[in-house]
Structures are given as C-alpha cells and as structure tokens.
C-alpha cells in the first residue's frame, strides 16, 4: 500500500496547535491523508490499521528524532485523520523552525514481514508567518505584567524592576538615553566613575562659566570660612557676609549652603541669650533660623577640644566659662562659644621697712631724707599700690572686619 498526497498540506505555521485534551498542554499536529493502492485506488480496509509516524531532519535516510504509533485507524474511502503527538510528545517547538520530514509506515499486522516506510517522506515546511511567530517561544507562556506593567512586552520596563548594576553602560546604545529621560537629581555625583565624562561628552552650555567658577570657589573657600577683611563693610565682596550676628533664613536659596556648614552653632535666629551682656541681634528677615557669628570687637581662639598640654584653654570645660551670645547657640567646649575677659591671678612682692626698736621690724628709715634715722614708732597694717595700666588686658592689635563665606 502507499499513502496518497495528504488532503491538507501540513505546515508548521498552521498545524502546530495545543491539544485541549492534554493535561500538560502538549503540542499536536493535525494530519489527514488517504490510503490508496499502487493504482491510486482508495483503500477501505476491513479492519482498523496501525500507522507509524516518524520525523527526520533529512528527506532520505538519517535517524528519526521522533516516532509515534497510531493504532486502530479506520478510514472512509481510505481517508483518515490523526493528531500527531497525541500519544508521544513531539520534539521541542524550536525543532520546527526548519524543514522536517514525516515518514509513514503502515503496519500490515503480519509480524513475519518487514513493513517498509512509504516514499517520499512528507515535508513539514515552516511558513513565513510561523517563522516570525517563533519569537513567541521566548515568552514561554508566562505573565509578564510584573515586569512590563501589563501582559505585553511592548511596554517599557520600569526602573524599579532593574536590579542594581544589572544594566552596565556597555549595554546602552550611544544617544539612546537623552537628558529629558533622566529625572532631575536622579544621578548622584558618587555614582559617576572618575574620568567617565569627558569635555566632549558634555553638551554646549550644560555647565556655565558662572557655575564652574562657583564650584571651583567652593572647593578653594568652602561656605562657613571666616576671613579677616581690610575694607569697609560697604566693600565686602559678593558671596561674603559681615560677622555681625545677623539672623538669617536657612530656607533662602542663597543661605542654604552656609546653614548646612555652621548649622545653629552661633544661635537659632531668636533673641539674645538669657543673661548675656551682649546687645540684641541686628534686624533680620521675617523668618530666621540661625545666626551669623558676631565677631565685632573680639579676638578669635581655636576650639580647645581634647587638648590637654601647656597650650590648652584651662577653663574650656568649666561650667559657665564659655557661653552663647544668641539663644540656641553652643555653650561649653564647642565652636561658636564666647568667653569674657580675665586677668590671670597673681601677686607682687616689695620691700617694707618699720620703725627702729619695734617688734615689727629691725630696719630704720629716713622719713625726710635728712640723713638721720627716724625713731618714731610707726605701724601700718596694710598697703595698696597705686593704679597702673589701661581699661582692659590686650596685646597690640589692629581693627579688621571679619567676614564669612556663604
């Protein structure tokens, strides 16, 4: 017997389907054919036949990559219909991306004779549309909405779905990410590798001269730096403020960096500290959050910290020795504190002479500088030297205006 050309040409793009009868949703190929004799006459066997189907990669010869036996096939005028793969699972779908060849053998039921495979084998050819459809294999039947936000791979992948470091720069096409696709402040400076951006990669006017100059200036003279200035207050350069204790708004754009540097070490922008002998703070803006240092008329001294040698500030940790001028400012051994003037405790010795022949002394004095001894009894219980010096203790000094960088 031989098999006549199938009624329906089998192509993988049309025939590879999923059986609804299978519990594991295996794929099957519907196949129809007609049995005929050598003269081409349809055969109607009196009893069901067994057909054996095999898949090959070659039109002739080779080893079958799949085999399935379909028993009890009955036909009407030789016509029959089977589901290839319903009894033995078909090869994986990618095998059908190229042409395969289906060999068919009719088992005549006689175990003593060899059943010859019919020729030629039937070619299973993937059509163009099915060739494109093979890319659906990549989705593997999964629900992709957790990644794409919808069950469709055409939606963009949210940044939250990308693991840290999972997308290296080498995987990005040049110019594929524009500045309008990068959220403001989303890339911190510490995430940019050193020397990874060259001048050629910066668009024109991305960094202005003023911005560059400000960045360089901040590196050389950071906000919060205090400097002695030899000019009048109306000559203070841009970016600097007089250290006069003014109260400022920390939320004002121009003062944000200064507040970050000095915080409320010198005061919280409120009234003068209770009991302080200093004048009230100068008038400031409506909202005040911190004070500038008030360095008018005072000398500067380094914070003692943990220093404990001959150059230490002995009173650094003495209670009420170092105070704040403005409310909320630091006290004690910290930046921004003030200390009143003092003169180190000391004494002086001098010669004292008493009258002759008294128990108070054995010397003589010439009271009137006449060259004779004065034997008058004199007793003085205390003596005080006359006043000498100025109104305060100070070294040689010169006036400057202390200014602070903001």
58 closest CA partner among 107, 124, 134, 9 = 124
2-16, 115-129, 338-352, 374-388 — which is least confidently predicted? 2-16
Contacts 24+ apart (CB under 8 A), 299-308: 299/397, 300/226, 300/402, 301/339, 303/333, 303/334, 303/335, 304/333, 305/333
CA–CA gap between residue 331 and residue 9 (Å, rounded): 96
Distances (CA, A) of 350 to 113, 345, 359, 385: 147, 18, 19, 10
Query: Could you tell me which residues come within 8 angstroms of residue 236 by beta carbon, excluding any fewer than 6 positions away?
Result: 229, 242, 401, 403
Q: pLDDT by residue (tens digit) across 110-141? A: 777 788 888 899 998 876 555 555 555 555 56
In this prediction the pTM is: 0.45
- Do residues 48 and 74 touch, judged by C-beta distance below 8 A? yes
- Do residues 108 and 115 touch, judged by C-beta distance below 8 A? yes
The pLDDT confidence band at residue 368, using thresholds 50, 70 and 90, is very low
Domains by residue range for the chain, with CATH: 2-137 (2.60.40), 220-345+398-406 (no CATH)
Average pLDDT over residues 323-331: 92
362 vs 319, higher pLDDT: 319
> pLDDT > 70: what percent of the chain?
73
Q: pLDDT by residue (tens digit) across 219-240? A: 889 999 999 999 999 999 999 9
Q: What is the mean pLDDT of the chain?
A: 77
pLDDT beyond 70 at 57: yes
């Amino acid at each position: 017997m031989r098999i006549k050309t199938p009624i329906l040409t089998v192509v993988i793009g049309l025939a590879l389907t999923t059986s609804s009868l299978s519990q594991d949703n295996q794929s099957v190929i519907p196949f129809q054919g007609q049995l005929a004799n050598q003269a081409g006459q349809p055969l109607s066997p009196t009893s069901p036949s067994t057909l054996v189907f095999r898949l090959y990669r070659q039109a002739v010869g080779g080893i079958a990559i799949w085999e399935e036996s379909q028993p009890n096939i009955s036909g009407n005028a030789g016509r029959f219909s089977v589901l290839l793969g319903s009894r033995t699972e078909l090869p994986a779908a990618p095998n059908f991306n190229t042409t395969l060849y289906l060999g068919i053998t009719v088992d005549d039921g006689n175990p003593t004779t060899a059943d010859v495979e019919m020729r030629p084998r039937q070619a299973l050819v993937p059509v163009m549309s099915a060739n494109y459809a093979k890319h659906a294999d990549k989705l593997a039947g999964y629900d992709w909405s957790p990644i794409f936000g919808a069950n469709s791979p055409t939606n963009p992948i949210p940044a939250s779905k990308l693991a840290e470091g999972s997308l290296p720069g080498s995987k990005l096409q040049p110019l594929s990410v524009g500045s309008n696709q990068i959220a403001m402040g989303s890339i911190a400076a510490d995430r940019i590798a050193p020397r990874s951006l060259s001048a050629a990669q910066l668009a024109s006017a991305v960094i202005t001269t003023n911005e560059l100059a400000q960045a360089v200036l901040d590196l050389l003279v950071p906000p919060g730096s205090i400097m002695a200035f030899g000019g009048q207050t109306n000559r203070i350069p841009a970016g600097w403020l007089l250290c006069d204790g003014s109260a400022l708004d920390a939320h004002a754009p121009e003062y944000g960096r200064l507040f970050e540097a000095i915080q409320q070490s010198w005061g919280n922008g409120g009234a003068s500290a209770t009991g302080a002998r200093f004048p009230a703070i100068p008038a400031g803006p409506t909202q005040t959050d911190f004070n500038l240092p008030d360095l008018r008329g005072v000398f500067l001294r380094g914070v003692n910290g943990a220093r404990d040698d001959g150059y230490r500030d002995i009173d650094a940790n003495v209670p009420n020795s170092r105070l704040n001028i403005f409310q909320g400012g630091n006290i004690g051994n910290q930046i921004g504190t003030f200390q009143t003037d003092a003169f180190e405790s000391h004494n002086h010795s001098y010669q004292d002479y008493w009258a002759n022949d008294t128990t108070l002394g054995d010397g003589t004095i010439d009271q009137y500088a006449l060259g004779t001894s004065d034997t008058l009894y004199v007793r003085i219980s205390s003596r005080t030297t006359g006043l000498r010096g100025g109104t305060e203790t100070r070294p040689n000094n010169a006036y400057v205006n202390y200014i602070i960088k903001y």
